[in-house]
Amino acid sequence: MRLLHLADLHIGIENYGRVDPSTGLHSRLRDYLERLDEAIDVGLAEGVDAVLIAGDVYKNRTPNPTQQREFARRIHRLRACGLPVFILIGNHDVSPAAGRAHAVEIFDTLAVDGVTIADRPRIHTLQTRSGPLQVIALPWVTRHALLTKEELRMASFLEIETMLIERVERFLRQAADDLDPALPAVLTVHGTIDGATFGAERQVLLGRDLIYPRSLMALPNVDYVAMGHIHRHQALGDHPPVVYPGSIERIDFGEEDEDKGCVIVDLKAKGEAHWRFHKLAARPFVTIAVDVRSINDPMQRVLAAIERRSLRGAVVRVKIDARPEQADALQTEAIRRALDDAGAYVIAAVTVEVERSTRGRLGNSDASILDGLTPRRALELYLRQKTPPLSEERIAALLAAADELLAEGAQDRVELLS
């Protein structure tokens, strides 16, 4: 039996792009849909028997009708090819309140044949052309799903975390015992495993993660563990394989050096699973960092650095370290023209960090020094120019407090224990 394992589609993220006036759609929506199409192409070419999506279909819990339509078109394509589709609920998919639908509930409501929506812990059986596949589902865990109101009222935060892990372990052990040992079985989880390496998703996964011990994934009768939630592709175990495919498209510069893709899983003899990562043609993100402080002609150095890089179709940012007296020589419009000529898809930022000062003039415009900075980065620059200077420990503490405030204020905030 062969499977296509995907996760973290995040359809609807629209940073670093623009609206196409001919269609009214955001260019980054097209990026994410093209990556999903590419992953489906891989699965069809590989002759997979089923598709597992391990959570986070959309950017948030309230996808707009266009995003829902485009995802449904891809599901229809898979079903037209006779493939069962299994969709696990992730933290970006969960219902925003009791009684309200979650982001992909419409497939259950319409009783779409061959599409399984896993929004609670349980065992599912998919009927594939190669026979039945058992799937243990562990969607994104919330405290209200597993604990009583009395338990929540009486327990501390750490006690709640401990109880959640205990409830999850109890479910997984019982589910593994309930499996038919003669049939292939996979465990799908949307969450964090101890030892996993995070990427830039820390910028979008706001809230505190429940950390599952690796030992929880080593279940009898389970052949493969299909993970979702962490955007960096990685494998954390061999018996059974515990694999994060990672997200299908780059979100930010924090994922600049990460390959994006999907996983093909071969379930052969019972207990024997082999997997392969397939790299997808994700949008390139490129940072051009140039230090011109020791250069007499800083502009020439910046333009030469641009010429050396392959920028066609890339989201690009330029970061320049300069002396205060060099600021006037750095012409932001000329830099942007050079990036356009090199085929940059989007110019995310052209920033200058002036020696011993966070303010200076770039292209005769004070504002252009801060071009493209995030609120957190702007705050960091402000703190580092304070007189008398702040200690690194103080700066770190203030930035940590700012991170909490930014998380609380984010419109699409998803809390672990909401």
**Domain 2-279 classification at class level:** alpha beta
Q: What is the mean pLDDT of residues 238-245?
A: 94
Q: What is the mean pLDDT of residues 394-417?
A: 56
pLDDT confidence of 394, banded at 50, 70, 90?
confident
Full 3-state SS string of 91-110: CCCCCCCCCCCCCCCHHHHC
Cα–Cα distance between 363 and 263 in angstroms, integer? Answer: 47
Rounded (5°) CA angle 249-141-145: 140
Cα–Cα distance between 371 and 252 in angstroms, integer? Answer: 16
Cα–Cα distance between 146 and 152 in angstroms, integer? Answer: 10
Strand-pair category, 50-53 with 2-6:
parallel
Cα–Cα distance between 150 and 33 in angstroms, integer? Answer: 44
**Residue of 272, 418, 250 lying closest to 345 (CA atoms):** 250
Q: Please check whether residue 150 is in contact with residue 143, taking contact to mean a CB–CB distance below 8 angstroms.
A: no
Residue 111 has pLDDT above 90, yes or no: no
pLDDT digits (tens, 9 = 90+) for 290-317: 999 999 999 999 999 999 999 999 999 9
Pick the residue with more confidence: 100 or 227? 227
Radius of gyration of the chain (CA): 24
Mean pLDDT of all residues in the chain? 86
**Residue of 365, 288, 295 lying closest to 332 (CA atoms):** 365
| pLDDT in the model for residue 195 | 87
Cα–Cα distance between 118 and 275 in angstroms, integer? Answer: 23
Write out the DSSP string of 41-81. HHHHHTT-SEEEE-S--BSSSS--HHHHHHHHHHHHHHHHT
pLDDT confidence of 182, banded at 50, 70, 90?
very high
DSSP 8-class letter at 221: T
For the chain, what are the domain ranges?
2-279, 285-373, 374-405
pLDDT digits (tens, 9 = 90+) for 64-87: 999 999 999 999 999 999 999 999
Q: Which residue has the tokens 């700066």?
A: 395
Pick the residue with more confidence: 209 or 133? 133
Cα–Cα distance between 119 and 93 in angstroms, integer? Answer: 9
11-20, 199-208, 320-329, 373-382: the lowest-pLDDT one: 199-208
| pLDDT in the model for residue 362 | 42
Residue 173 identity (one-letter amino acid): R
**Residue of 256, 255, 252, 222 lying closest to 238 (CA atoms):** 222
pTM recorded for the entire structure = 0.80
Cα–Cα distance between 400 and 32 in angstroms, integer? Answer: 31
pLDDT digits (tens, 9 = 90+) for 115-168: 999 999 999 999 999 999 999 999 998 765 555 556 555 666 677 778 889 999
